[in-house]
Amino acid sequence: MVALAAAALLLAVAALARTVWRLRVAPDDRRVARYIEERCPALQDRLTSAADVARGGRPSPFRDLVVGDAARHARDVDARLVVPRSEIRRRSAQVGAAVAGLLLVLAAGSDPLGRLGRTAWLYAFPHTAALHVEPGDARVPVGDPLRLHATLDAGSGAPARTPPVVVMTDGEGGEQIAGMEAVPGGAYHLEIPAVEDSFSYRVRAAALESGPYAVTALHAPRVERIDVAYRYPPSIGLPPRIEIDGGDVQAPPGTRVTVTVRMSKPVEQAVLARAEGGRTALAPAGDPAVLAGTFEVGDDDTYRIRARDADGLRNPAGVDYFIRSIADEPPAVEIVRPGGDREITPLEEVVVEARAEDDYGLRGFELVYGLPGRTERVVSLQHDDGAARTTGRHTIFAEDLPLEPGNFITYHVRARDTGAAVTRSDIYFLEVRPFGREFEEARSQDSTGMPADELGRLQELQKEIVVATWKIDGRRPAERSPEDIETVADAQNDVALATRVLASRLSPPAPVVDAGGSDETRAVEAALAAAVESMTAAETGLRAGRTDAAIPHEMAALEHLRQARDEAARTQVQPPTNRSAPGSGPTAQEDLSALFDRELRREQETNYENRRQEPEPSADEGDDALRRRLQELARRQEDLNRRQQALAEEADEADRQAAERLLERLAREQEEIQQEMEALGRELVQPGREAAGRPPAARAAREAAEQMRRAAEQLGRGDPSQAAERGRQALAGAGAPRPPPPPRGRGGPPRGRGPRPPAPARGRQALAGLRELGRRLGEGAPRADGRGRVGDLQLEAQQLAGLQRQLGEEAARARQTDDAGQTSGRLAARQDRLADRVEALAERMGQARQGAADGEREALERAEGVLAEEDAARGMREVAEQLRRAGAAGEGAGGTRPGEEASAEDAADRIAAALERVAGELAGAGDVPGSDRGRLAAELEAAQELRRRLEEIGERPRGGAERSEPGGRDAAAPSAAGAGIDGVLEALARARPDLGPDLEQWARHWWSGSAPGTDPELQDLSAWTSLYSELQVLLDEFEVARTRELGREGGDERPGLGPDDGAPAPYRRMVDEYYRSLAEQP
């Protein structure tokens, strides 16, 4: 059809062109006359002449005669001669065909031609028609579609060939044309899918055009900004505050919160709708587009802003804003240094540094210290009132206090938040040690046996009871467990019973008149009696649940024990006697004076003097010392046997519970004697003591220790008579060394009563204690290595690792409690604070690395690499979020979700391990490259740390793994020495290849605390006994070898004092000038 139409059009154009071409030049009269005369020669140019005369234009008689003559002859011409008849017929046929074709076209295309005609009419006469447009002006919400309708009311018909179009004009004048589509009924429409902005439009059909119409795009109201104003309850004590451009609400319950919402346009109605169903109306606040509403914070919730404008449009759903009800937690306090009990001199200055933080701000942060039983001194450590976190320092000047040797200075910190909550730290003790020692002549051979060591142990136990009671008293009333208080009361009863037994031992069996030696004994007995009285009062308070009333009595008992120990601790000497010489008195006086002179010289020596090499004691002197120690052990064993036998004879008549506690005390004393016997056996096999007779003596010591061990086992089975028999055999027997007794935590006395467990169980306790020992290596005070900022960073990493591991343990315990949800929330808040400290630690390490030496810079880079690899801060925040989710699930479903809490515990342990690695990297900072001195010193220190920790097992109370309190004194943290334990164990394994597998196994236990070995039923006491004995010998050899190598590395004759025994150069110059000035004086 298209080709046909094109061909028709082409032919029409060609015909028209041909016609126009022919008519472009019209023939004149002369040419027509010549054409006729050519066909009619008889005219003889008459027509041509007449045409020429007529063209002249001026009338004359001649022209008329010529024209007339031509006209007469033309009448006689036959027309057929000019135009043949055949030509006329042909032309007529052509005309007829054209007319027929025209009629056919008109008949077949009447409708198109009609439309064409009507369109032409509309163009020619537009005023005869009318255009109707719907909806005209319109208001459409943004994003909604718009449909335009148009109808044409015309007398001569609609413009079928030219449909209407819509011309749209935007706000900037740009036009866009869109055609309308015809619909049944003679109308036209155009659909716009979505209206985005306002515009105007008009409809145009041919020459007819409608007027302009406006389309207004309606924007729904939306929230542009939310300001939250807090008005806290009076109990919180915080001033009102405003949070600009926020939305989330975090406040304690009872806080009045005013939410101010700025909308994008004025609205007619708005409400604050909470998810739990509560609604708060929002009223205009001055500006019609600004609304405000007030509500009170209750439980956790979410809310949305719902608004409607005058056009009925509602704001989009938007986001949910949180309402988090955060309970006002008590402040968290922590003593950074000295971080534990210490011994000080009466003139020492002790710097106490502490840290405190609170969720809503601190109103008080104080250091409290003083002597027990006297008025305490309170020093404020807060610099900025209301700060959420603060750190304070204060120096305690011991010389400003009325101190005596043996006194205790107790100190702790306490913090008060903006409300009424007060938190205090653990209580710590500064024990004043004397500058000198007191000597007195023994009145008799037996008077040198005053039980100072036993009094010291009782004093340490009483101190632990004070600490445990202090911790319980510092808890909230709802968190104080009656079982814990009962356990402390039982422990206080045990110590009181042991004190009574000790006092009865000091009392002679019959009245004895001894004017020379009764004063000291009576003083000790009086102090012990007063201590027992105070202990009884403390126990009464504990039984009644009044821990606050028990603490003063416990402190008084501690002071009385201290007095008794001081009385018993005077060094009594037995001067040599010469009964054959009557002048032995002056000789004894001279010997005592010489003893005083030696002790004074020893105490006055300093590290800055070249100490003279003391001559090695002769073999005879060593034999005398060993013999005296053996006699003392024999005396103690005999006394212990006597008490065991007495207990066996009176077992049926005595109180059962008291008998069980006394039985436990006797077993402990038996183990202590056994431990000292083992130490004596090790000295007998040390190098330099291979003289004749030593091996049999060493075997005798081991056999005696074995008999003592069996006696302790008999006591553990509740058989004091058999234990006494074993003790008597120990006075003449021999056996192999065994490890010290299992540990007890400092967090409080042991739970439960009853006789000691049998030997396998006791062995399992020892192994569990060693695993705990490996995890807690380095929990003591940090080394004073003088490394400045790097040392502080190491200490911070140690503390963070301990607190992180402690948090994981508390999370595990929280799953077993009824208030697991609330506890998890508190742990999450603590985890967030630890994450802040880790971020601060990373920033401080980056700052310290800028100006550090090469060795320290490398250590800092490795430590930063460990933090970056683990991403500890982000991991801590993920743990906090898991704890929050677990806590929310626990409160909603009656229990926590074990999966999430277990995951949080694993992550906490992993982060703690990473922080321990950071501390280990920082511990090695500053070693000189190419020198073995730092390595040797570190290995020696690690070996000494391992030995010290093993010996501490015997000093800890029994009861298994320690319990840790938040911010307490039992936070585990690795030390630099702990970081070198692996190297020490490798060296020991090389020295004894046969012990390699055992050492590797125990190394894994110490560092990880994981199986094998965690199951008490799988522990082998005999294997551990053998390993412990071998370890003692290997540690002796290792320390001697490293000390010699360290001396050779140092290049001088001074004994190795550790990695940093050299004084600073300026100080050495001052000391040299001082001694030079003394030498130059006349």
Under 8 Å between Cβ of 331 and 417: yes
- Smallest CA-to-CA distance from 1058 within 941, 887, 898 is with 941
Angle between the N-to-C axes of helices 694-716 and 759-775, in degrees from 0 to 180, rounded to the nearest 10: 100
- State how beta strands 213-218 and 199-205 pair: antiparallel
pLDDT digits (tens, 9 = 90+) for 738-762: 333 333 333 333 333 333 333 333 3
Mean predicted confidence (pLDDT) in 333-338: 88
- The listed CATH number (2.60.40, 1.20.120, 2.30.30, 3.20.20) that belongs to domain 223-325: 2.60.40
Q: Which of 44-53, 540-549, 901-910 has the lowest mean pLDDT?
A: 901-910
Res 154 pLDDT > 80: no
Q: What are phi and psi of 379, to 5 degrees?
A: -125, 130
- Smallest CA-to-CA distance from 460 within 497, 429, 493 is with 429
pTM over 0.75, yes/no:
no
Amino acid 139 reads: R
Amino acid 345 reads: T
Under 8 Å between Cβ of 324 and 250: yes
Which pLDDT belongs to residue 894?
Answer: 45
Highest mean pLDDT among 55-64, 432-441, 758-767, 1064-1073: 55-64
State the DSSP code for 285.
Answer: E
- Smallest CA-to-CA distance from 413 within 453, 356, 351 is with 356
Q: Which of 364-378, 567-581, 647-661 has the lowest mean pLDDT?
A: 567-581
* Interatomic CA distance for residues 696 and 432, integer angstroms: 44
Triad 1001, 1003, 1006: Cα angle to 5°:
115
- State how beta strands 362-370 and 175-179 pair: unpaired
Res 144 pLDDT > 50: yes
Under 8 Å between Cβ of 53 and 62: yes
Residue 518 token pair = 């009764």
* Interatomic CA distance for residues 994 and 991, integer angstroms: 9
Res 580 pLDDT > 50: no
Which pLDDT belongs to residue 242?
Answer: 92
Percent of the chain with pLDDT over 90: 8
pLDDT digits (tens, 9 = 90+) for 128-138: 667 788 888 88
Res 899 pLDDT > 70: no
Which pLDDT belongs to residue 243?
Answer: 92
Top-confidence residue, 629 or 199: 199
Three-state SS for 784?
coil
Percent of the chain with pLDDT over 70: 59
Res 359 pLDDT > 70: yes
* Interatomic CA distance for residues 152 and 164, integer angstroms: 9
Mean predicted confidence (pLDDT) in 145-163: 70
Under 8 Å between Cβ of 256 and 238: no
Res 321 pLDDT > 50: yes
* Interatomic CA distance for residues 56 and 787, integer angstroms: 137
- Beta-bridge mates of residue 187: 151, 183
Highest mean pLDDT among 244-258, 858-872, 959-973: 244-258
State the DSSP code for 758.
Answer: P
Res 787 pLDDT > 70: no
Under 8 Å between Cβ of 228 and 249: yes
Res 12 pLDDT > 50: yes
Top-confidence residue, 670 or 402: 402
Mean predicted confidence (pLDDT) in 367-382: 87
- Smallest CA-to-CA distance from 556 within 469, 498, 662 is with 469
Give the burial class of 715: count Cβ atoms within 10 A of its Cβ; 0-12 exposed, 13-18 middle, 19 or more buried. Answer: buried
Res 400 pLDDT > 80: yes
Domain 115-218 coded CATH 2.60.40.10: yes
- Smallest CA-to-CA distance from 327 within 810, 817, 823, 808 is with 823
Model confidence band, residue 665 (pLDDT cutoffs 50, 70, 90): confident
How many CB atoms are located within 10 Å of the residue 193 CB? 9
State the DSSP code for 9.
Answer: H
Top-confidence residue, 368 or 812: 368
Which pLDDT belongs to residue 939?
Answer: 66
Which pLDDT belongs to residue 773?
Answer: 35
Res 333 pLDDT > 70: yes
Q: Which long-range contacts (CB under 8 A, 24 or more apart) does 9-18 make?
A: none
pLDDT digits (tens, 9 = 90+) for 810-847: 888 777 776 666 677 778 888 888 888 888 888 888 88
Q: What are phi and psi of 573, to 5 degrees?
A: -115, 150
Residue 853 token pair = 């030496």
Q: What are phi and psi of 557, to 5 degrees?
A: -60, -40
Which pLDDT belongs to residue 399?
Answer: 84
Which pLDDT belongs to residue 1000?
Answer: 60
Res 91 pLDDT > 80: yes
Which pLDDT belongs to residue 441?
Answer: 54
Which pLDDT belongs to residue 244?
Answer: 92
Model confidence band, residue 951 (pLDDT cutoffs 50, 70, 90): low
CA dihedral for 555, 556, 560, 566, sign (positive or negative) = positive
* Interatomic CA distance for residues 464 and 765, integer angstroms: 20
Res 221 pLDDT > 80: yes
Q: What are the helix (H) ranges across 474-517?
A: 482-506
Under 8 Å between Cβ of 742 and 693: no
Mean predicted confidence (pLDDT) in 56-70: 77
Q: What is the secondary structure of 397-431 as a DSSP string?
A: EGGGS---TT-EEEEEEEEEESSS-EEE---EEEE
Which pLDDT belongs to residue 1075?
Answer: 60
* Interatomic CA distance for residues 691 and 688, integer angstroms: 8
* Interatomic CA distance for residues 662 and 638, integer angstroms: 17
Q: Which of 353-362, 419-428, 583-592 has the lowest mean pLDDT?
A: 583-592
Under 8 Å between Cβ of 135 and 177: no
- State how beta strands 249-251 and 321-325 pair: parallel
Mean predicted confidence (pLDDT) in 228-248: 87
Q: What is the secondary structure of 827-844 as a DSSP string?
A: HHHHHHHHHHHHHHHHHH
Mean predicted confidence (pLDDT) in 996-1016: 50
Q: Which of 75-79, 325-329, 624-628, 734-738 has the lowest mean pLDDT?
A: 734-738
Angstrom CA distances, 315 to 268, 326, 341, stand at 12, 30, 64
Q: Tell the residue number behind the tokens 């055949």, with chain if given.
A: 86
Res 1036 pLDDT > 90: no
Which pLDDT belongs to residue 536?
Answer: 92
Model confidence band, residue 465 (pLDDT cutoffs 50, 70, 90): very high
Question: Left, alpha or beta for 967 (phi > 0: left; psi -120 to 50: alpha)?
Answer: left
* Interatomic CA distance for residues 558 and 387, integer angstroms: 38
- The listed CATH number (3.30.565.10, 3.40.50.800, 3.30.420.40, 2.60.40.10) that belongs to domain 343-432: 2.60.40.10
Under 8 Å between Cβ of 724 and 641: yes
* Interatomic CA distance for residues 85 and 564, integer angstroms: 169
Top-confidence residue, 319 or 1006: 319
Model confidence band, residue 403 (pLDDT cutoffs 50, 70, 90): confident
Res 86 pLDDT > 50: yes
Under 8 Å between Cβ of 860 and 841: no
Which pLDDT belongs to residue 453?
Answer: 76
Triad 902, 908, 912: Cα angle to 5°:
150
Which pLDDT belongs to residue 1062?
Answer: 46
Mean predicted confidence (pLDDT) in 572-600: 47
- State how beta strands 321-325 and 301-308 pair: antiparallel
Res 978 pLDDT > 50: no
Amino acid 890 reads: G
Which pLDDT belongs to residue 1061?
Answer: 43
pLDDT digits (tens, 9 = 90+) for 475-508: 888 888 888 899 999 999 989 888 888 888 776 5
Q: What is the Cα gyration radius of the chain?
A: 56
State the DSSP code for 755.
Answer: S
Model confidence band, residue 345 (pLDDT cutoffs 50, 70, 90): confident
Q: Which of 322-326, 908-912, 934-938 has the lowest mean pLDDT?
A: 934-938
Which pLDDT belongs to residue 916?
Answer: 84
Write out 895-932 in H/E/C secondary structure: CCCHHHHHHHHHHHHHHHHHHHHHHHHHHCCCCCCCCC
Which pLDDT belongs to residue 378?
Answer: 92
* Interatomic CA distance for residues 640 and 1048, integer angstroms: 48
Q: Which of 157-161, 285-289, 869-873 has the lowest mean pLDDT?
A: 157-161
Which pLDDT belongs to residue 367?
Answer: 92
Res 230 pLDDT > 90: yes
